[in-house]
Structure formats: structure tokens, C-alpha cells
Amino acid sequence: MTTSPDRAAAVSPARAGRVGAPWLALLAGPLSLGIAGPALVLGEVAGDLGVGIPAATWLVTAFGWGVAVGTPLMAGLLARRGVRAVLAVCGLLVAAGALIVVAGPALPLLVVGSAAQALGCAGLTVTAMNLADSARRMGIVTASLAVVGSVSPLAGQVVADLASWRATLALPVVSLLAVPAAARRAMPPEPPGSRFDVPGAALVTALVTALVAVPHWPAPAAVAAVVTVLLLIVRLRARPDGFLPAALARSPRFLGLCGVGLALAVVNFGILYAAPTLLARHTGWTPAQIGTVMVAPYLLGGALSWLVVAASGRMRPGVVTALLIGAATAATVVVPFAGATPVLLAGMAAGSLAAASGQGVFAVYVGAVAEEHRPTAVGLLNLCYLLGAAFGPAITALMSA
């Protein structure tokens, strides 16, 4: 294919009009508030609900599961029904989930609310990335995810101090402020002629659930994932135009981009969870001091990623990919063996820059692989990044055990 990634994005099916880039950032960025916002308030949650920290952590686990499952499901809905349908469904999910976590009396209900918010945020993020019709605008969307994620733990703590931990859990609701602006841009739904592939969607959901569970229950989850993959292969042969298009599943370029994206995310999130221990070893700082200092490299990496994604439209894809892999490799080598705190922080920033840039750059590239499957392709790429968020910390824990 000779079409440049930037040009491919510009002629995507979502070209009917333009949503301002700040609205796209607001539509997507709050997803990071749900992932990282509760990090410093789980102790308060556990104390008020009368449960242990491990039980309270299910709020974060449920959000992660909802985002992982919701990403391909909402991408499929976007491809078939268009922007307005996804915004309506996801807006209701986010609003309902926020109400539940604010008013729910018990942990199981709060877990449901957290999962509902995550499903909605997943769809809003996929929509924002599909409405980003240039490399520059895609960079703004993915940079917003990284930048918001870098400050989310501190923001969550501040909101809990000013209001309550329930308000912290409901922070993703701010994404609804961008829904009206995005709704003015409507992607035409898929012409009728094929019914929704329910078995395909169920298999993809089962596979995502199994993969998310691998770090927690390795053996049974891995077996379930393998069995589901085999069933999905059979389904692809029976329905090549189904929920998971065969054109994507059989594309070496698409699969390669997803694989590199997964690796970049594994490196970034692995370093994120290893960094506090390494910083404590180097400095003797308190956890609060470490948390504050860690904002800087991740904020820097997220902010710089916008420049990288914006410039990628003028560079060869192979060169950009090699540079991102190089940055992630350098971070992997530097961080564990850093002899000084500034070097360690530089390695953290490099890992953040590689992952945040890769998410935006590869989202543009996969849209050029098969333009008719752009929403699904972008959704599956994001799924790989989310799996990296699950696998990175688990791999770090195994290596440090």
C-alpha cells in the first residue's frame, strides 16, 4: 500500500466533519482516571467498606476488565452503527456507573459500577481515536491518555481529600462533557446485509477475559485462552466478515504492529511498577515522595509523545517503529541497572515516551492496513496496549520474586 499513514487517516470513513482536538482529548483522557485514579485511596475504600485491601482492589480489576472487554466490543459497534450509537450507549454506561459508585452501599455493587464506567470509557476512547483523522490529532488523543494517567493517582487523592473516595471512583464521568461535541460528527453505519456476529463477539470477549486473568490464575486462564483461540480460528473460517474480520487476523503487518504495541506497553507498565522499589533503594524516599517524583518522567514522556506522533506522518513507518523499539529497549536496559536517580528517571521517561507514542503512531498505521475495518483495527490495537498493562506488572513481579 502506497498511501501514507497520515493521508490514510485523513480519508477515513470518519471524515464527515471535525471535532476539535481538545474535545477528542477530553473524550479519551478520563479513561486513565479510572485506571490509575484510585491507586492512593484504596486504603480508605477498604476501611469505609469494612473489607481488606485485596478485596478493594477488585474495583481497579473490574475497571481494567471492562476497558479490555469493552474496547473490541465498542469498536465493533462503532463499525456497524456509527458514532452516535456508540456515544449514546457509552454515555449511558459511564453515567450509570458513576451513579452506582457514588451511591452504592456495598463493594459488589461498586465493582459493577466500576465495570460499567470502564465499558463506556472504552467506547468513548475508541471513538475519539477514530475521529482523529490525522497523525497530529491522534497524537493529542494518545498524549492525553498518557498525561492524565501520569497525574491520576495524585488527582485521585486530592479529590478524595476535598470530597470523598467515591468522587475519586466517579472521575471518569468528566468524559461526558465532550459527548455533545462528538455527537455532532456522525459516522454512517454499516449498510445492512449482514447480521451482527454474536458468536464471534462472544469468543473475542471470552479470549480477552482469559488473557486479563492470566496474571492472576496463570494455568487455567492460559488453557482457556488457547481453547478460545482455536474456537476463534474455526469461527474465522466460517464467518470471515464477522466480528473479527479475517482480513485483519490474517494480515502480517497488522499483527506485527499489534505485537510491537503489546511489547512497548509491557515494558512501560513493567517499569512503572518496578520504579518505586528501585527509587526507594536509590534514595530512601517515602512512598509519598516517590509518587510525586514519578509524575515528572511520565508527564514528560506523555507530553513529548504528541510531537512524535505528529511527526510520524512525515517519516517512514519502519524508521518510526525502529526508533520506538530502540527507546523501549534502552529503558529496559537502563532502568534495572541505573546507578543514579537521574538515569533511572530518564529510563522511565523513555519507556513512557515509547509506549505513548507507539499507541498513537500504530493507531494511524493500522487504520491504513484496511480502511474498511478502521474502527475494529484501532480497537484491537488498544486492546494489545491494555493487555500490556496487565502483563507488565506481572512479569516484573515474577522477575523480582
Taking only the tens place, the pLDDT of each residue in 190-227 is: 555 567 788 998 999 999 889 888 887 889 999 999 99
Boundaries of every domain in the chain: 5-190+239-400, 198-238
Query: Closest Cα partner for 331 from 347, 315, 317?
Result: 347
Grade residue 8 by pLDDT with cuts at 50, 70 and 90.
very low
Q: pLDDT at position 148, please?
A: 92
Q: pLDDT at position 1, please?
A: 37
In three-state form (DSSP H/G/I as H, E/B as E, the rest C), the secondary structure along 116-152 is HHHHHHHHHHHHHHHHCCCHHHHHHHHHHHHHHHHHH
Q: What is the mean pLDDT of residues 78-84?
A: 86
Q: pLDDT at position 391, please?
A: 83
Query: Closest Cα partner for 31 from 198, 174, 185, 167?
Result: 174
Q: pLDDT at position 173, please?
A: 97
Classify burial at 136, counting beta carbons within 10 Å of its beta carbon; exposed 0-12, middle 13-18, buried 19 or more: buried
Grade residue 243 by pLDDT with cuts at 50, 70 and 90.
confident
Supply the pTM of this predicted model. 0.84
CATH number of 5-190+239-400: 1.20.1250.20
Please report, as a single letter, which amino acid is at residue 15.
Answer: R
Q: Which of 6-20, 52-66, 121-135, 218-232 has the lowest mean pLDDT?
A: 6-20
Q: What is the mean pLDDT of residues 114-140?
A: 92
User: Which set of grid coordinates corresponds to residue 338?
Assistant: 541505573
Structure confidence by residue, pLDDT tens digits, 172-186: 999 999 999 998 876
Grade residue 96 by pLDDT with cuts at 50, 70 and 90.
very high
User: Which set of grid coordinates corresponds to residue 156?
Assistant: 485521585
User: Which set of grid coordinates corresponds to residue 74?
Assistant: 465498542
Q: pLDDT at position 5, please?
A: 46
